[in-house]
Chains A and B, each alone.
Chain A
Amino acid sequence: MPRFYFDVREGARLTPDEDGLEFDSLDAAEHEAACTAAEIGRDRLPTGGSREITVEVKNEHRQRVLTITVSMQVDRVEPPPQSPRA
């Protein structure tokens, strides 16, 4: 089974995957990467430290084969709307 590496980027911080994992196909690796991006997003995005998580999938030669990005955008209305008159 081919080995894939999953590097995770959170804002400016990149955590390279040193071990890698084996999956039977690129499709399987993509699905895993997508789940991982969503899970890390669930943990990290609402706290506001960074608003974008990227998982870069590399093959056994450490060449990038796909990238998955999850992001959260928060838009406050400025100035805040006035309360309607009673």
Chain B
Amino acid sequence: MPFIHKLEQYDRLSDTERQLLEGAIVRQRAVPKGEDMIREGDCPAESTFLIKGFAARYSLLRNGKRQITALHVPGDFVDLHSFLVKKTDHAVMAITPCTVGTIAHETLRGISENHPHLARLLAVNIVVDGAIHRQWIVAMGRRSAREHMAHLLCELFVRLRAVGLVTDDSFDLPLTQAELGDSLGLSTVHVNRVLQDLRKEGLITWRGEALAIEDWPRLQEIAEFDPTFLSLEVEPR
């Protein structure tokens, strides 16, 4: 299960803990591309994690504009926080065809009462989600379009590498330019132009659907990217 693999990027799991998590998954289901896996205003009795595919948290404005507030990749919980906040304040949609799994809130309650180390590791997920949001705010408010795009590509590269989805410095980036624009708060034309610029400078290339990072140090420098906020260190927590 990719979410168990992801927890193992933060700290070692005991065999008992791993078995407990594997037994906690109640069901798996497919979510078609473009469909909501979580709807705004829902009060789910379970938390959902991604096994396959990309998902986006988003909010819609009255004028029809959409802001994507987070991107989720395999191994991520998309609404672990719904265990605590009950009513969801935003929706989560499948960017690609997705496979998701769920864990009942009741089970999560049991884990939090009887397995404090696991509960802390699950909490790291929520803490890291918050850290990613902070980076997005900084980028949205203060970075240029080019720096912002570079930062997002660096973030996705490191997150996908952590769950084994980077091969030869390249990864599937199944977002349309409109979806990238909704993530960055930029127009599609601007996104297109920034990507063309990064490509012309030899920083990235497209290999079919996959994006290849050709000059990681330079891309990181443009983005002022420091992966510390992703907390990808195996250490006692």
Q: A residues touching B (Cβ–Cβ < 8 Å)?
A: 6, 8, 15, 17-19, 21, 32-33, 35-36, 39-40, 43, 55
Contact = CB atoms under 8 A, between A and B. Distances in A.
A39 B186 contact: yes
A32 B189 contact: yes
Given A35-B187, A39-B186, A39-B187, A19 B192 contact: yes
Contacts of B144: 43
A39 B188 CA distance: 11
B196 interface: yes
Contact of A35 (B177, B190, B192, B197): B190
Contact of A33 (B177, B186, B189, B196): B189
18 contacts: A8-B193, A15-B196, A17-B192, A17-B193, A17-B196, A19-B192, A21-B188, A21-B189, A32-B188, A33-B189, A35-B187, A36-B189, A36-B193, A40-B145, A40-B190, A43-B145, A43-B146, A55-B189
Contacts of B196: 15, 17-19
Nearest to A20: B192
A47 B190 CA distance: 19
Range of interface residues on B (Cβ < 8 Å): 10 to 19
Interface in B89-121: none
B189 A6 contact: yes
Given A15-B197, A39-B190, 8 more contacts: A21-B192, A32-B189, A33-B189, A36-B187, A36-B189, A39-B186, A39-B187, A43-B145
A39 B145 contact: yes
3 cross-chain pairs, A with B, having the tightest CB-CB distances, nearest first? A35-B187, A36-B189, A43-B144
A32 B186 CA distance: 10
B177 to A, nearest CB: 7
Interface in B188-221: 188-190, 192-193, 196-197
Contacts of B146: 43
Interface in B145-183: 145-146, 177
Nearest to A4: B189
B109 to A, nearest CB: 46
B193 A15 contact: yes
A57 B145 CA distance: 20
